[in-house]
Structure 1
Amino acid sequence: ELSAEEKLRLAAFRQEQEALAAPTPIRGGSSLAGSPATTPLNDVLQQVGSLASLLGARKALGSTDASANGLAPARAQSQTDKDYDQQNEQSRKQMFMEQTRTRTVSSYLKSTRTPPLGKYELKMGWDIPAILEQGINSDLPGEVKALVRSNVYDTATGKYLLIPQGSRLVGVYDSQIAYGQNRLQVIWTRIIYPDGSSINLDGMMGQDIQGMTGFHDQVDNHYKRLIVSALLTSAFAAGIELSQRQSTSLLTTPTAGQTASAAVGQQLGELGSEVTRKNLSIQPTIKVPVGYRFNVRVNRDILFEAPYTPVEM
């Protein structure tokens, strides 16, 4: 079997023979002045080099095409990962875990045991039991009031009456309800004693009797309004369509009635879509009735000068 060099020589010899047999003359060993001398072997080597360059370019182009073809799946996978992370927030959870692990925490707290400032204290974490004196509807913002339903005593001994039963609580509720929300956030700002004296609470949270934040009772997601509007729109559009005689021929020009019914049906469809969109934008309504039982969670220590006794004017 011939070696690679012998094959090149044989190819050069054949090319030279073909050139000699051709009607146009070829250059011999001499060349024109000022131009480099060329030989058939050099021509063959140049052709082989050009072929190798062409193959390399095709290979590079193929890899580029492969990369371009794989770009779309990569982008789709990236978008899927992004949607998953936005919905489940796994990256934030991973970051929280890493920050917790790397956080430098002292083995000792900076504060020590602090004695109470007085005998008449209601400490953080205690509850003030209460009952709603009025109903709540979250469609509009407003204030709310309630009554303390049982006596509240000091934290340390439980002997000193600090807030008597029948004291009035005043607060506000958050009327901005998110989609899917079923609890109403209520903040209590003041206690008014039966004798007219009062204490500012600076925004203490209302909780249900199970200790969960917010009031939960009746939730109206307005599904009935949404379904009824969609059904009515569909019924009107279908009635107008059925009231017109249907033509079985494609060559028949639509009558004026058919054209009018098509236009009315289109308008009703657009109207139904707009009404449905507006109904979907309606926030849920949370209603809490009169007599709802709840607790006000004390979030800061409350210091009293003395047990409760009515103030004489």
Structure 2
Amino acid sequence: MTTRIIGQYDDGVTFGQRRVLLVWNRLILPGGGSIVLERLPGADASGYAGLEDGVDYHWWDLMKAAGLSTLLAVGTELATSDENRLIRAIRDGAQDTVNQAGQQIVQRQLQVAPTLTIRPGFPVRIIVTRDLVFKPTGG
């Protein structure tokens, strides 16, 4: 039987973030005992805080949103030069609305946080920032 460790990660990922931040809460020892770790920081094999592995910034979705916004803007710009004032007013109003909708689609896509993925078995470290007291084992 091996020692298990319980921790948690910060799911508040922001745009541009590449590392998953994590803390360790408890060690469960082979004999059934446990040690409270009180949120000791997790680090990668080099000692840097958090873990960096797979990052998906969703660029393809952003490009699709920008393309849709461009198509909407181009569509509202197409008009004949001999249209009357009522049709021109309707077109101008629709153009503003469609342009704003396209901008909102792009802005919404810019707010999507990247997806950070850590593969199973990825090397991880516990940065011990305080004394840990282990009870002697019988043996």
* TM-score class, shorter: 0.7 to 0.9
> How far 1:294 sits from its partner (Å)?
0.9
The question of 1:297 aligning with 2:127 is answered: yes
1:1-313 equivalence runs, <5 A = 166-242=2-78, 244=79, 246-247=80-81, 253-254=84-85, 256=87, 258-307=88-137
| Residue segments in structure 2 that go unaligned for 5+ positions in a row | none
Distance 2:8 2:116 in 1: 14
- Relative to 1, partners in 2 of residues 1:265 and 1:308: Cα closer, same or farther, differing over 3 Å? farther
> How far 1:272 sits from its partner (Å)?
1.2
Per-residue Cα deviation, 1:204-250 (whole angstroms, up to 9, x for no partner) = 111111111111111222332222111112113323543x4x21x6x
| Residue segments in structure 1 that go unaligned for 5+ positions in a row | 1-164
- Relative to 1, partners in 2 of residues 1:308 and 1:241: Cα closer, same or farther, differing over 3 Å? farther
Distance 1:230 1:305 in 2: 60
CA contact (8 A) 2:22 2:50 kept: yes
- Relative to 1, partners in 2 of residues 1:191 and 1:308: Cα closer, same or farther, differing over 3 Å? farther
Runs of 4+ in 1 over 4 A off after TM superposition: none
Distance 2:94 2:118 in 1: 43
Amino acid at match of 1:303: V
Q: From the CA coordinates, give the structure whose radius of gyration is larger.
A: 1
Matched residue SS, 1:274: helix
> How far 1:255 sits from its partner (Å)?
6.2
TM-score when scaled to structure 1?
A: 0.40
**Higher share of residues assigned helix:** 1
Distance 2:138 2:21 in 1: 30
TM-score when scaled to structure 2?
A: 0.82
Per-residue Cα deviation, 1:280-302 (whole angstroms, up to 9, x for no partner) = 23333322122211111222222
